[in-house]
Structure 1
Amino acid sequence: MTIKTKIFAGLSAVFLSFAVVAGLVFWFNIYESYEELKSAGARRDLARVVDAIEANVEHLTLNAKDWATWDDTYRFVSGTMPEYEEANLYFSAVANIDMNHLSISALDGRVAWGKSFDLETEAELAVPGLPSETTVAPAGWLRAAADGRIVAGLISTPQGPMMVGGQPVLRNDGSGPPAGLFLFARFLDDDVVADVRSRTKVTFDLIPLPVVGDAMPGPAPVTVTAITSETLAAETSLLDIEGRPIARIKAAIPRSVTALGRRTILAAGGALLVAWLLAVLAALLLIQRIAITPLSNLTRTVAEIGRDDDLGRTVSSDREDEIGVLATEFDGMLAQIRTARRRLEDQSYYTGMADVARGVLHNIRNALNPLGIGVWRLSQRIENRPHDTLRQAAAELRAGTVAADRAAKLLDFIVARSEELARQDGEAIADLTMIAERSKHIEEIVQTYDEMGRQGSELAPVDIALSAREAKRQALALAKKPLTITIAESMPAVLGQSTTVTQVLANLFVNAAEAIDAGDVEAGEISLSVEPADGARQDTVRLAIRDNGAGLPAGSEVKIFERGFSTKTSGGRGVGLHWCANSMAVMGGSISVTSAGPGRGATFHLTFKQALKEAA
């Protein structure tokens, strides 16, 4: 669907349904926002009620501190001041501070003094749960006092909810250890409720509840419901000191804000409907002329260029606005793409040739290094052959003028030198054999790349053990430190190119040997082993090449396979591992590396396709 069709269809649909949609939007968003605003106000009102009750509890707890932090109280609860009771503990002392209960308990649960009163009748009350002659303080309260903590909150009693506040009994200077718990309690009666109503300006009712169930996981929720169109009902629970509901608070809140919101919405909605209708009519004409028609033409032309891949075509426009600028810039972009395509085609060819050349040269260089060493050893043996001394000994014997013992020594000398020459000849033959093998290997490298260039890369079963032994010879020939290379005895065949696999292993073995030479170890160790196959890829062979060399710096595990990147301090060209990564990818495999850090060696992980076993 075109932009033109979408705009006209959308505006037409909106025009026909706007009245209904606007009304719903206003009702369910703005009007409900007014409702939510008032609901939030109702929640705040109830929160102020709860805060006021908690403030009463806090005040009661502070009063208890005046009595609890007193040497006389400390001595009384400790049992060393019996006259304290007669001087301080009587009804008027409790009534004067509007308390219904006062108790002093030792930490072992013994109640030194504890009584509850009806302040109107002055009658003594029996309040379960509060310390008295027959009831001890709850163990949790005593533990809090022993830890120097206060006890504050609400409790449920048969006479109604009570506010309690307790303090640990300490000396005048606040020092301890705590000797007991001093507790005040007051009923949450009509007088307290009236005081809270006066302070919060909230009309509410307090309804006691039976204590059942476990403690709530958090603050009591507040529910707000509509009673009438002008009044909201808000409710929440008061929680006791254990977090269980003990009373229900209910309040009726006027909905004056909601009524005002309803009138405002009706007026604003009508005005908005008229304004929107006029704006739509004007927009239809302007959009058609200014944007839809030019964009349709531009879109059609661009689509044709993309479909036909005709980069020589242009979409020029004589417009001077954004659409005209877009057309001009698009023409410029097409010109840049044409130029970039030509350059990319040229660069792609030369880059590919350069990568191939670098890979060939790197592998030939690795093969030439042991060849050069073999030629040098051969030249040294030839230069050091004892020709002159043998000729002198032979000349003396031919002259026949030497004594018998001298002749015997000359014969022994000639025999020893002959044996030495035979040994050197054997070593020279070994060097010549190695030189021939290296030359043949170089020829195989060149032939492999020539075949790859002419007919692509065909994969065939490769004996990993055979390739590893060839790579091992190259690494041992170049190692500067004592080096041990261990190859697993049983290794499965893989799919690949024999020469390429050998060169990959040789590159990795040589790199490991160079890392060992650069490290702090006295003797190097390299191992080639088979790793368990990935559970999801049982058709693969995973190899691990481990060394105890210089290791890798953190963060180089990925960059090490990039062209030009090398961790070597000198002589590194960043070609070998890049070539290995490309070669493994060509053979359908992969290569990665892990290292515990500098000085802790490295492990290269190779993944090959497994060669299918021949049927028995």
Structure 2
Amino acid sequence: MAIRTKIGVILLCAVISFSVVEYCVQQFIILPGFFSLERDEAVKDADRVSKAIKNEIRHLSTLCWDWSAWDDTYDFVQSRSKEYIKSNLVLSTFTGNNLNLIYICDADGHVVWGKIYDAATESEVKLSLFPKDFFPSNHPLLIGNFGQGQTGEDIKGVLITEMGPITVSANPILKSNNEGPPLGTFIMGRFLNADMVLQIAEQTQVDFSLTTFSGSAARLEPKINKEIPFNVEVADDDHLNVYLIFPDINGNSAIGITTNFHRKISRKGYDTVQNSTYSTLIAGMGILILILLSLKLSILNPISILSNHVFSIKKTGDLSKRLLFSRNDEIGTLANEFDNMVSRIEQSAIENDAITKQLCKDIEKRKQMDDQIRHSQKMEAMTTLTAGIAHNFNNILSVIVGCTELAVARLPKDNQAVKLLKKVEEASARAKDIVWQLIRFSQKYENNFLPVQVVSVIEKEIKGVESVMSGKIRIISQLQEDCYPVFGDVNQFQILMKNLLTNSVESIKNGRGVIEVQLANIPDSDAANVRNVNFKNGKFIRLTIRDNGQGIDPSHLDRIFDPYFTTKDFSYGAGMGLSVVHGIVTNNGGSITVDSKVDRGTEISIFFPAAEITGEMTN
């Protein structure tokens, strides 16, 4: 372990110990206080919801009392007046007072009038708790001699129906001065539906929901009693759920109220504890940093620099870096000795690198020489074989041509054999051309070359090819007028240019394309960058033929200079064109390279050594 690390660990342990004590105080003393306060606030919210529902029931009871203690209602129970129904018991009474149920029963329990409406659809509905004709004597909402209430009392609360919970109020039917005897019971009801829940939520500013006791609220009954009327559970990190059970008219569990309390208080407590913890850690780290800085300036920093320097050399391999410490203590001595060691290693690396580079150059040069020797031996063997074949075939061909001409001369012109003999003469002429191509390929020219200005030769051959090719093919020439002269034979250069241009024309698809011809001197400074060229005097010219034809398949590039190798139909030639070109270039001491991409075109570059003019020059 590093010295810096050891000192830092000791100081860090002290800071962490203090932070742990501070954290425990906050977690086990301060935070529980926030949690208790948050629970109390959540219970208060739930209590507000319960009180709001009770308040809604009281308002309903007040409205019901206004209708029940009214002379018109009192008379209606006795007279069954239709005018009362038309004036008071209409749909607008329900919608205007946000009512869903109005029932009027006489003292015997018979239904004088009663209807239940769905406020959403304004259509009449039926509930099993509210029969159409007669309320049994044990019905919880009847008031009278056989009911639960007494004169001047009311019954109010919640009932569970098949359409959900409903708040109801039942009052005795009295005169306007609250005198009796009571003639029956007046019942009003409102569904505790989503609209009423939303209204209560807006009044109390509490997010809550209602469930019937037969649902999820039933599981909470064992946890809730008179001593503990609320049950508080953690829903997630951001919410508390408070559950309470609201009883029905008979005091039985009816609906479960679930309030959703946002845990802002505990979040505030967490933030407070967190900020306090961070403050403690920052203060401790500040003290730790001050102590480390005092050690860093004298000991730790120089050691760190030396260590980083060693790892940097290991990673990058850069041996030119130096520490250059000017200290007179042990660290300075160690740094100076390390610099001396790196200097010696760097010198050895430079020497080894130079040897390696020279060895790579020698290997590459040897490889190129081996390739050239193999190719020269191959072409020499082909040349010898071709010369023998051409000589013997030429002798045979002479006999065929001579005999054919004598036969044609001796036969009448209208003889059918004359036509056949003419075809023999045409085939012999084509064979003669092939023989002469073989002879040109196999010929050696030595010591009888003259300096040739190849510009005029190239221009002449371009004009000759243009005169016979399609007008859709363009030849663009860029010829340097003061190009170096080249030792060679004019006829050979003519054959070379003719073959190259013919190949380019034939490679262009659909007879539409461009051929570029370039001739230029190569400066001495660029000579070393030209591949496969090694001329003694360093001066040479470059002839480039470039087309946008169909290109050459990469697998054929090694064979394009072989005699008789062709990818075209033999009606276009015998595959001797590039072989002859290669032979001419080689005989003139030049070099040839080919770059080609399928469907993109071909570029042939020919390099000739410049001639040193001491006598006659041919153009």
TM-score (normalizing by structure 2): 0.38
Please identify the structure whose Cα radius of gyration is greater. 2
TM-score (normalizing by structure 1): 0.38
